[in-house]
Amino acid sequence: MKTISPIQSWINGKSVTATIFNMYVIGGVLGSSASFYYSLLDSDLVSVAQGNLTMSGEAYLGWGNDDEYCWNWAASSDQLNLTIIGDYVPPVPEPIAEIYVGEPSVLEVEPKSLVLGQIRQDAPIDEILGEMN
């Protein structure tokens, strides 16, 4: 996804602003054309406009293996007339803070069996197996 200069649109009589451009390949004919689905999204990643584009002819031949070429082609004035600002970087969610009531304490867990509770953590495996029999 890419960030774009804001684009105003109307949905159900309400002004909306797209600031994110998403696009992916949906099909094509090798050596001839490629079809893309695109969507323009608002800052909450809600689609405010979408559609399909088909790249063919000289544009398709110029693609090679450079995906940035496709982004720039789709954003060009011959297609969607968008200004790409950069790559979309999703926001990092705020960390969930741990809340303690009083002093934090260490939880003590009873061993599942008395045999396992008696075995040293650094004991050799044959000692552990012997204790369990």
In a domain, 57, yes or no: yes
> At 121, which helix (H) or strand (E)?
none
Q: What is the pLDDT of residue 109?
A: 47
In a domain, 92, yes or no: no
Q: How confident is the model over 35-69, as pLDDT tens digits?
A: 999 999 999 999 999 999 999 999 999 998 899 99
Number of domains in the chain: 1
103-109 contacts, C-beta under 8 A, 24 or more apart: none
Q: How confident is the model over 27-43, as pLDDT tens digits?
A: 999 999 999 999 999 99
The pTM for the full model equals 0.67
Q: What is the pLDDT of residue 93?
A: 82
In a domain, 65, yes or no: yes
In a domain, 102, yes or no: no
In a domain, 35, yes or no: yes
Q: Decide if pLDDT at 132 tops 80.
A: no
Q: Decide if pLDDT at 106 tops 60.
A: no
What does the alpha-carbon distance between residue 80 and residue 75 come to, in Å, rounded to a whole number? Answer: 5
- Domain residues for the domain of 27 are 2-87
- Residue 69 CA: distances (Å) to CA of 26, 55, 64: 17, 11, 9
